[in-house]
A and B are shown apart, each in its own frame.
Chain A
Amino acid sequence: MLKHPVQLAIAIAFLALAAVFAIGASQLPSDGGYAGVGSSFVPWVVSAFLAIIGLLLAYQAVTTGFRSLDAGDAIGSADRRGALWVSAGILLMAALITRIGFVPGATILFVCAARGFGSVRPLRDIVIGAFISFPVFWLFTLVLDVNLPRLINDWL
């Protein structure tokens, strides 16, 4: 029946967010001392703002759809496999960086992301990835004394 189910879902997400913020605001102390406005004042304002936006979006979604939007709801042509590679790269780096060190982590991200964008030469990508992350690693650890996770010692 609905012409724009995803758009309606976005509108509902805004309304849900408004509800979450309203619940949160109701639990905050409203006492503001001499100012008269306390910790909960701005959260209430933001919650109301979110709710109004949610209603407006919902209205647009059930009538003609979001105004001046070309893309519509089409998700069909998406390259999900590519997106999976890119996502895997970021998540792997996030999960592994403290264990395998900074340079290998960044290299994994580089290789996975390049694969997602259609690169077919993973070995070359490994070299480039390491080539990019090494100087940065050295700059952080040796020059700036920032503690990045390392695999072996100060150099890796």
Chain B
Amino acid sequence: MIETWNLLLGGFATAIQPANLMWAFIGCVLGTAIGVLPGIGPALTVAMLLPITAKVDPSGALIMLCGVYYGAAYGGSTTSILMNTPGESSSIMTALEGNTMAKHGRAGPALATAAIGSFIAGTIGVLLLTLFAPLVADFALKFGPAEFFSLMVLAFVTVSSVLGASMVRGLASLSLGLAIGLVGMDAIAGIPRYTGNVPEFIDGIEFVLVAVGLFAVGEALYNVLFEPKTDPGTRNKLSSIWMTRDDWKRSWPAWLRGTAIGFPFGSVPAGGAEIPTFLSYSTERKLSKHPKDFSSEGGKGAIEGVAGPEAANNANAAGALVPLLTLGIPTSATAAILIGAFQNYNIQPGPLLFQTSGPLVWGLIASLYIGNLMLLVLNLPLVGMWARLLTIPKPQLYAGILVFASIGVYGMRQSSFDLFLMYVIGVIGVIMRRFDFPVAPVIVGMILGPMSEKQLRNALSISQGDWLIFFKQPIACTFMVLTILVMFVPMILRKRGVRLSEDD
């Protein structure tokens, strides 16, 4: 422990050198900027910045690239909350409550809880990384296909909390998402499915495209069709920029729970950043003392529904550094490119990294603490400015949202086909909105469907067709038992006359 402490202090000595502080700052600013812009994710940005490794020393460059990686996780929430345009799959859950809050004049608190939650989760995440990285890495390796599949079953069941007022229509949305998720190349056998011989469909439909189509385009079209033009709406009435005492009280536990969910899932090798945000949202939805505030209940937006998923997202980003640094295993596209950056310096992340390049790694870890603080300082003053954006008159506001949505969708792979597809999905979004089909389950189905199919088939291949594998392995079995509890405990309680708050 003392040894770790000394090494970390050494790391801080590296990180607070003025040049390195500057690199961290540049990385944070750039990361926040690209997080705000939909369509260019951190993976692309880090890839484009890779050539810098030819000119800058390793500490500086890696500190900057990690700043981009972290900053993007911060900035992703901004467009979700303000424009209902999630730029990354991991900020989709944030859009649900965050945008509802913004529409009721509470963009400020939503942005603030996202920024502070990100800071707290990021810092705790880095702390856990500092102290327990090797232990966490060993645990993460226990996750194979069977464990992942069981985890996804749990995610599927808890997702019922985003299904909205009508169970049938919620499930209808989920089934639509599963159907869209099937389009494209089957990840196991490599056979194209439901592509209709359209080459653009072979890789499947990007979920950011569907999210932007359903959320932003669908809402703009719905708004122009059915909402009065003159009504300024509650959007313009900024009731408060800052979080109230009640907001703090409701955010705290959500931040901590989000962190607890996000960090471990970041460290498992095939997690993806979305699942912890789903689980965190469901948890907050189930535990909240204010279920009526949630957008699925027609409420004004629940702050814990922003605080939890955002914390989970950032803790997840810290967790993903565990297998990256200790095993050299990337758990996301961005992490894979970061490994490329290390390799450009002939440094191989992995089991030998701490021995071969100790000072560098500790400098990097120390810079993560500093970067987190920088991001908070950078983002909090922006909250007011961002929130004021919503006072723009409606025509220009929605036109701007549409421009941003199109830029994001087009920027992903420079295909105008995607823009047409975005429009079609937007029209479907209008119909869904008109008949009160919730849109979030579509995205959830799209993401979970293909992932769980892949893990199911790999797990069964490993067990040679034995379905009981999901109960024979301890971690998988734990998730399955948890799933059964989540499904049946409320039912039994209800039968016994115990009423849960959400059924009131």
Determine whether A and B are in direct contact in the complex, meaning some CB atoms lie less than 8 angstroms apart. Answer: yes
- Contacting residue for A117 out of B395, B406, B420, CB 8 A: B395
Contact code string A114-151 (vs B, CB < 8 Å = 1, else 0): 11111100000100110011001001100111111100
Q: In the assembly, what is the distance between CA of A63 and CA of B166, in Å?
A: 16
A residues near B400, Cβ cutoff 8 Å: 110, 128, 132
Structural contact, B395 and A69, CB atoms closer than 8 A: no
Question: Does residue A5 face the partner (Cβ distance < 8 Å to B)?
Answer: no
Structural contact, A42 and B191, CB atoms closer than 8 A: no
Question: Does residue A17 face the partner (Cβ distance < 8 Å to B)?
Answer: yes
Structural contact, B182 and A117, CB atoms closer than 8 A: no
Q: In the assembly, what is the distance between CA of A77 and CA of B434, in Å?
A: 13
Q: In the assembly, what is the distance between CA of A102 and CA of B403, in Å?
A: 11
| CB-CB under 8 A for A140 and B395, given A17-B179, A28-B191, A83-B221 | no
B residues near A147, Cβ cutoff 8 Å: 414
CB distance from A101 to the nearest CB of B (A): 12
Q: Please give me the residue from chain A that is nearest to B445 by CB atom.
A: A46
Q: In the assembly, what is the distance between CA of A17 and CA of B44, in Å?
A: 35
B residues near A129, Cβ cutoff 8 Å: 399, 403
Structural contact, B399 and A114, CB atoms closer than 8 A: yes
Structural contact, B193 and A36, CB atoms closer than 8 A: no
| CB-CB under 8 A for A90 and B224, given A66-B166, A118-B229 | no
Q: In the assembly, what is the distance between CA of A50 and CA of B178, in Å?
A: 9
Q: Please give me the residue from chain B that is nearest to A81 by CB atom.
A: B224
Q: Please give me the residue from chain B that is nearest to A31 by CB atom.
A: B189
Q: In the assembly, what is the distance between CA of A49 and CA of B457, in Å?
A: 19
Interface size class of B (residues with CB under 8 A): 35 or more
CB distance from B408 to the nearest CB of A (A): 10
CB distance from B413 to the nearest CB of A (A): 10
Q: Please give me the residue from chain B that is nearest to A21 by CB atom.
A: B179
B residues near A118, Cβ cutoff 8 Å: 229, 394-395
Structural contact, B226 and A37, CB atoms closer than 8 A: no
Question: Does residue B422 face the partner (Cβ distance < 8 Å to A)?
Answer: yes
| CB-CB under 8 A for A78 and B414, given A46-B179, A53-B168, A69-B436 | no
Q: In the assembly, what is the distance between CA of A108 and CA of B100, in Å?
A: 29
Question: Does residue A94 face the partner (Cβ distance < 8 Å to B)?
Answer: yes
Q: Please give me the residue from chain A that is nearest to B178 by CB atom.
A: A46
Q: Please give me the residue from chain A that is nearest to B405 by CB atom.
A: A90
One of B71-79, B285-293, B308-316, B460-468 contacting the partner: B460-468
Within 8 A of A (CB), among B94-118: none
Structural contact, B226 and A117, CB atoms closer than 8 A: no
Q: In the assembly, what is the distance between CA of A24 and CA of B196, in Å?
A: 10
- Contacting residue for B461 out of A21, A34, A140, CB 8 A: A34
Tell me which of A67, A70, A86, A129 has the highest count of chain B C-beta atoms within 10 A of its own C-beta.
Answer: A86
Within 8 A of A (CB), among B408-451: 410-411, 414, 416, 419-420, 422-423, 426, 431, 434-436, 449
Structural contact, A29 and B40, CB atoms closer than 8 A: no
Structural contact, A83 and B175, CB atoms closer than 8 A: no
Question: Does residue B151 face the partner (Cβ distance < 8 Å to A)?
Answer: no
Structural contact, A79 and B225, CB atoms closer than 8 A: yes
Tell me the dominant secondary structure on chain A's binding face: helix
CB distance from A65 to the nearest CB of B (A): 10
| CB-CB under 8 A for A109 and B402, given A66-B435, A144-B40 | yes
Q: In the assembly, what is the distance between CA of A50 and CA of B174, in Å?
A: 9
Interface size class of A (residues with CB under 8 A): 35 or more
Within 8 A of A (CB), among B184-225: 186, 188-189, 191, 193-194, 217, 220-221, 223-225
CB distance from B90 to the nearest CB of A (A): 21
B residues near A37, Cβ cutoff 8 Å: 456-457, 460
Question: Does residue B500 face the partner (Cβ distance < 8 Å to A)?
Answer: no
CB distance from A126 to the nearest CB of B (A): 11
Q: In the assembly, what is the distance between CA of A90 and CA of B449, in Å?
A: 30
Within 8 A of B (CB), among A51-103: 53, 56-57, 60, 66-71, 75, 77-80, 82-83, 85-87, 89-91, 93-95, 97-98, 102
Tell me which of A50, A77, A117, A118 has the highest count of chain B C-beta atoms within 10 A of its own C-beta.
Answer: A117
Question: Does residue B124 face the partner (Cβ distance < 8 Å to A)?
Answer: no
Structural contact, B179 and A86, CB atoms closer than 8 A: no
Q: In the assembly, what is the distance between CA of A102 and CA of B411, in Å?
A: 10
Within 8 A of A (CB), among B120-179: 165-166, 168-169, 171-172, 175-176, 178-179
CB distance from B346 to the nearest CB of A (A): 25
- Contacting residue for A69 out of B175, B435, B465, CB 8 A: B435
Question: Does residue B302 face the partner (Cβ distance < 8 Å to A)?
Answer: no
Structural contact, B423 and A14, CB atoms closer than 8 A: no
Structural contact, A21 and B182, CB atoms closer than 8 A: yes
Structural contact, A42 and B453, CB atoms closer than 8 A: yes
B residues near A26, Cβ cutoff 8 Å: none
- Contacting residue for B165 out of A28, A68, A97, A140, CB 8 A: A68
A residues near B48, Cβ cutoff 8 Å: 143-146
Q: Please give me the residue from chain A that is nearest to B419 by CB atom.
A: A94
Q: Please give me the residue from chain B that is nearest to A7 by CB atom.
A: B435
Structural contact, A139 and B457, CB atoms closer than 8 A: no
Structural contact, B225 and A71, CB atoms closer than 8 A: no
Structural contact, A90 and B189, CB atoms closer than 8 A: no
CB distance from A105 to the nearest CB of B (A): 8
Structural contact, A110 and B411, CB atoms closer than 8 A: no
Q: In the assembly, what is the distance between CA of A102 and CA of B416, in Å?
A: 11
- Contacting residue for B191 out of A39, A57, A68, A106, CB 8 A: A39
Structural contact, A144 and B45, CB atoms closer than 8 A: yes
Beyond the given A90-B426, A91-B423, please list 11 additional residue pairs across the A-B interface where CB-CB is below 8 A.
A33-B461, A34-B461, A36-B465, A46-B179, A46-B182, A53-B171, A53-B172, A66-B436, A90-B402, A90-B419, A117-B399
Q: Identify the B interface with A (CB < 8 A).
A: 33, 37, 40, 44-45, 48, 165-166, 168-169, 171-172, 175-176, 178-179, 182, 186, 188-189, 191, 193-194, 217, 220-221, 223-226, 229, 393-396, 398-400, 402-404, 406-407, 410-411, 414, 416, 419-420, 422-423, 426, 431, 434-436, 449, 453, 456-458, 460-461, 464-465
